[in-house]
Every structure is written in C-alpha cells, then in structure tokens.
Amino acid sequence: MTYIKPKFRHPDLPKNAVGFTKTDYEGVISTLCAGCGHDSISGSIVQACYEMSIEPHRVAKLSGIGCSSKTPNYFLNNSHGFNSVHGRMPSVATGANMANRDLIYLGVSGDGDTASIGMGQFVHAIRRNLNMLYIVMNNGCYGLTKGQDSATADAGSVSKSGSVNPFEGIDLVGMALELGATFVARSFSGDKTQLVPLIKAALSHNGFALIDVLSPCVTFNNNVGSTKSYDYVRDHIEALAEIGYVPEKEEITVSYDSGSSVDVELHDGSSVQLHKLAEGWDPRDRQAAMSRLQQAKAEGEILTGLVYVDPDSKDLHEIIKSDKRPLNSLKEEDLCPGAGVLAMINDEFR
C-alpha cells in the first residue's frame, strides 16, 4: 500500500490566507516514473495555488489522455476534476466554462494530446479566448506507448532507440502567438523559480493562457541526441526575464535599476513584474515576440519566460455577452422568455 499517503499532518504546519496548508493542495502519490518532469510541474501547481490562497473547491482541473493527463490526480485533491478522452479536453473545458464562469479552469495536456489528435480543439480554445490556464507538459515523445517521437519533437533529434526524427517539430508557443493567444509562456519543469510565478500570472489572466513546459521523459527521451533531455534544455535555455508575481492589494515595489524592469498589471489588479534579461524586451508586443521566437530557433536557443501577454484581454463570456449567472441557476423564464420575445427578434430581421 505504498501508493497511499499518510493522513497524519503536523498540527503546526503553516497556513495560507484562507486557512489551508500546502498538503491540502496535494493529491495521491504519483505513479509516473521516478524523476519525471511532470511531477515537478504538479509540484509547481501545488505551490502556486497554495501561495495564491486559492480555495481548492474553486478549481476545475481537466485533462485528456497521456502521462501528462494522469497528473491532475496528483494535485488539488479537493477540486472538481474531469479526465476526458484523447485530445478533447478543450471542448469539455469550454462546456464547463460556459455553464459556470465562476470556477478557475486549469487544463493539463501533453504534446501528443495537444499537437496531434487535439490540435483542432487547441486552436479553437485559443480563437475563442476561453478563460483557462492550459499547461502543456511537453516531452517530445509518446511516453505511454514506448517513446515514439511526437509532433513537437525537433528535426534531427535522436530517440532512445537511435532513430533520427526527419520532421520539423510543431512549436506550440509560435502557433499560439500566430492564432492570437492573449497569454503565452514557455518554461522548464526543472526551473521552479520561473514556473511558479508564471502559473500564478496565468491563473490571474482574463482569457486563454498557455504555458508550454518542457518536461523531459526520463525513460524514453533523456538520452544524448534528444533536444528534450534535461542536459540539452539546461544548456540551451535563454530566459527573457526574471519573473515575479505581485498579488492584488500588495504593495508593488521595484528593486531593479531604472529602465531595466517592467510591471504588467492584470485585470484583477495583480501584477507581473519582469526584470528584463533580453535587451528591449516588452511582453506586450506580439510582433516582437514572434520575431524573437524565430531568432531563438535559428540560433538553437530555447526561449523561456513570459513571451507575450495582453493585459486588456476579453474572454469568451465578454465577447459573446453571456449571462453572468451559472447555468444551473437560470430558471425556465430565463431560458425560454416566450413567444413575444421570439417575435421581436424575428421582426429585427424583416
């Protein structure tokens, strides 16, 4: 029974602003391979939600199929959850969000689940600016089916079996920018210092927030020649900025030299604070972000950090002007206003 976590907790564990300890944000013991980057991402989600004092019951976590989609079982045990079928997580998230906008939607997917069978759903979630955090645990291989190259595997990368991938990989960050995503970031599962504030900022963003997290597969894709291995990623990372997250109502301070930092205020009053490492970097410039991403690819760099954010983003509910009340609270007269209203609508088209 080693997979069962002990229920005993020290009575003096520190609590956050809503009275929860960090253990209240955990799940069951992971059954993923020891050292899997996905477990590090789960740990970062736990840390971010604990520090933000998010009540677990306010979160709806969703996933598809794959190693990554097992992870919602390993964090936020007291949250709402739905494990969908392969590639269909975005449509389930859309339906849930349309029914109740008051929950915080956190979708977890993988490079196969997103960049192959789920590509169409991924595209339309971005297009509609669905208010959710979409985390891709990207390891460039199919870990559940013996490590074949996925659609995000880079051309020329070598698999554990020794085969060389002849195809260009799909860059989900570049695609999201091109499609108009309003929050786009990339990180590394081994860089918790960067990933935790990115998750906080993404959860506070109003609209679709993508974080593409490079997450090495220790069993099938951590070998020499792989561009998704721990060693390769560490050697080729180029961070755009040092990232800090400042919650709403907390004093915003800047400890950097004048001109070397930027604050981006989000819709809820919280702020993303960036100490720019890349010269002239402005995360609110979509064209500059796309150009810098292409430059990094040409130079063999893996660009990480907050790539782009639109602080004035309008989510799907604002775009279609939907009712602010949850669907299950609407009464018959709200959903079926009667023949008179229908006649008025028809008259507008005559």
Instruction: Report domain extents, the chain.
Output: 22-319
Contact between 311 and 284 (Cβ < 8 Å): yes
State the chain's maximal CA–CA distance in angstroms.
70
Strand partners, 275: 242, 261
Say which residue the tokens 């810098």 belong to: 292
User: Which among 141, 310, 279, 156 has a CA at the least distance from the CA of 225?
Assistant: 156
Which of 310, 315, 208 is closest to 264 using CA atoms? 310
Q: Is the pLDDT of residue 251 over 70?
A: no
Q: What is the DSSP letter of 167?
A: S
Task: Give me the phi and psi of 66, to 5 degrees please.
Answer: 135, 175
Specify the 3-state DSSP secondary structure of 141: strand
**Does 258 score more than 70 pLDDT?**
no
Tokens of 141: 């291989």
What helix, strand, coil percent values describe the chain, rounded to 5? 35, 20, 45
Helix intervals (H) in the chain: 37-51, 67-70, 89-99, 111-115, 119-127, 172-179, 192-204, 230-236, 286-298, 316-320, 332-335, 339-348
Q: pLDDT digit string (tens) for 260-297?
A: 678 888 888 888 888 878 877 889 999 999 999 999 99
Write the pLDDT tens digit of every residue in 187-246.
999 999 999 999 999 999 999 999 999 999 999 999 999 999 999 999 999 999 888 988
Q: What is the pTM assigned to this prediction?
A: 0.91
Give whichever of 11-15, 57-61, 346-350 has the largest mean pLDDT. Answer: 57-61
H or E stretch including 187?
A: strand 183-188
Q: Does domain 22-319 have CATH number 3.40.50.620?
A: no
The confidence score (pLDDT) of residue 259 equals 46
pLDDT digits (tens, 9 = 90+) for 313-337: 999 999 999 999 999 999 888 888 8
Give the end-to-end CA distance of the chain in Å, rounded to a whole number: 70
